[in-house]
Amino acid sequence: MILDQTEQEIQSPAQRFVLPIRIYYEDTDAGGIVYHASYLRFMERARTDLLRHLGHERSRLSSELKVQFVVTGMTIKYVRPALLDDLVQVSASVKSLGYARLIFDQTVERNGEVLTKASVTAACVKVGGIKPAVIPKSLREKLKGLM
């Protein structure tokens, strides 16, 4: 499904959150091919917007609940290149949910073709101390519903 760049959605039954992103010159190398590190930014946006879609903006997590998420690991596979002006769909789904960490499956696709796929591990930590923290119950229940 191709979405307008301002749209985002949770897709069923896979429960994937999908964020459309247009590829701009700043995302590419001199040859118009997306630079490998740009995919990390795209995936970060999808994870952040997934949390926002669930009603848990990062600023609220930090200021009210005194927690934040940090990436502790990632496995990424680059399958095919995205190119300047492409409209890609960046997805995030919850693969595994623990008390203080979660694992996301993420893909970057163009018209249904997988370009990049990754498994991203994120830990919930206390703001300021960077010590493990339990994922807030309200968020945990919503994340469970995506599995």
In a domain, 2, yes or no: no
Give the range of the structural domain holding residue 115, as residue numbers without chain letter: 9-141
Residue recorded with tokens 């459309």: 20
In a domain, 29, yes or no: yes
**Structure token pair of residue 114:** 């997988």
In a domain, 21, yes or no: yes
Give the pairing of strands 101-110 and 16-22: unpaired
pLDDT score at 16: 87
In a domain, 114, yes or no: yes
- pLDDT surpasses 90 at 46: yes
pLDDT score at 146: 87
To the nearest whole number, what is the mean pLDDT of the chain? 91
- Return the higher-pLDDT residue of 102 and 2: 102
23 vs 25: CA distance, rounded Å: 7
Q: Angle at the Cα of 103 (from 2 to 91), degrees rounded to 5?
A: 5
Confidence of residue 131 (pLDDT cuts 50, 70, 90): very high
In a domain, 146, yes or no: no
**Structure token pair of residue 16:** 């994937």
Contacts of 123 (CB under 8 A, 6+ apart): 69, 70, 72, 100, 101, 132
pLDDT score at 10: 52
- pLDDT surpasses 90 at 139: yes
Share of the chain above pLDDT 70, in %: 90
In a domain, 127, yes or no: yes
- 4 noted as active-site residue: no
In a domain, 1, yes or no: no
In a domain, 33, yes or no: yes
107 vs 113: CA distance, rounded Å: 10
What is the mean pLDDT of the segment spanning 7-32? 81
Nearest-Å Rg of the Cα atoms of the chain is 15
The amino acid present at 133, given as its one-letter code, is: A
Q: How far is CA 75 from the centre of its chain?
A: 14
pLDDT score at 147: 83
Q: How many CB atoms lie within 10 A of CB 11?
A: 13
pLDDT score at 1: 37
Catalytic option among 29, 49, 86, 105: 29
pLDDT digit string (tens) for 84-115? Answer: 999 999 999 999 999 999 999 999 999 999 99
Where residue 76 sits, what CATH number does that domain have? 3.10.129.10
Structural domains of the chain, count = 1
